[in-house]
Amino acid sequence: MAPGDRTRRAALLPVAFFQRPAEVVAAELLGCTLVSTLDGVRIAARIVETEAYLGVDDPASHAWRGRRTAANASIYASPGTWYVYRSYGMHWCLNLVSAPAGQGAAVLLRALEPLEGIETMAARRGRPLRELCAGPGRLAEALGATRALDGLAMRASAVTVHAPRAHVPPPHVAGPRIGITRAADWPLRFCVAGSRFLSRPPTRNGPASPPGRRTTHSRRAQ
DNA sequence: CGGAAGATCCACT
DNA sequence: GTGGATCTTCCGA
Instruction: For A101-113, give the secondary structure using H, E and C.
Output: CCCCCEEEEEEEE
Q: What percent of chain A has pLDDT over 70?
A: 89
Question: Å between A178 CA and B9 C1'?
Answer: 14
Which residues pair with residue A95 across a beta bridge? A83, A108
pLDDT band of residue A218 (cuts 50, 70, 90) is: very low
Residue A209 has pLDDT above 80, yes or no: no
Strand B positions within 7 A of protein Cβ atoms: 5-10
Q: What is the pLDDT of residue A183?
A: 93
Q: What percent of chain A has pLDDT over 90?
A: 85
Q: What is the pLDDT of residue A222?
A: 35
Residue A219 has pLDDT above 90, yes or no: no
Please give, one letter per residue, the 3-state secondary structure of A16-39.
HHHCCEHHHHHHHHCCCEEEECHH
CA-based Rg of chain A, rounded to a whole angstrom? 17
Q: How large is the average pLDDT for residues A156-173? A: 97
Residue nearest to nucleotide C5 (CA to C1'): A90
- Is the CB of residue A181 inside 7 Å of nucleic acid strand C? no
Task: Indicate the average pLDDT of chain A.
Answer: 91
Residue A26 has pLDDT above 90, yes or no: yes
Nucleotide nearest A87, from its CA to each C1': B8
CA separation for the pair A34, A45 (Å, rounded)? 5
Residue A210 has pLDDT above 50, yes or no: no
Residue A211 has pLDDT above 90, yes or no: no
- Is the CB of residue A189 inside 7 Å of nucleic acid strand B? no
Give Cα separations from A59 to A27, A55, A105, A181, A196 (angstroms).
20, 8, 12, 9, 30
Name the helix (H) or strand (E) containing A87: strand A82-87
Q: What is the pLDDT of residue A184?
A: 86
Q: What is the pLDDT of residue A38?
A: 98
Strand C positions within 7 A of protein Cβ atoms: 1-2, 5-10
Q: What is the pLDDT of residue A214?
A: 39
Q: Which of A23-32, A41-50, A148-157, A177-186 has the weakest average pLDDT?
A: A177-186
- pTM as predicted: 0.92
Q: How large is the average pLDDT for residues A207-215? A: 40
Nucleotide nearest A215, from its CA to each C1': C1
Nucleotide nearest A94, from its CA to each C1': B7
Q: What is the pLDDT of residue A9?
A: 74
Q: What is the pLDDT of residue A206?
A: 54
Q: What is the pLDDT of residue A1?
A: 55
Give Cα separations from A65 to A54, A60, A62, A104, A176 (angstroms).
11, 10, 9, 10, 21
CA separation for the pair A50, A26 (Å, rounded)? 6
Residue nearest to nucleotide C8 (CA to C1'): A89
Q: How large is the average pLDDT for residues A121-133? A: 98
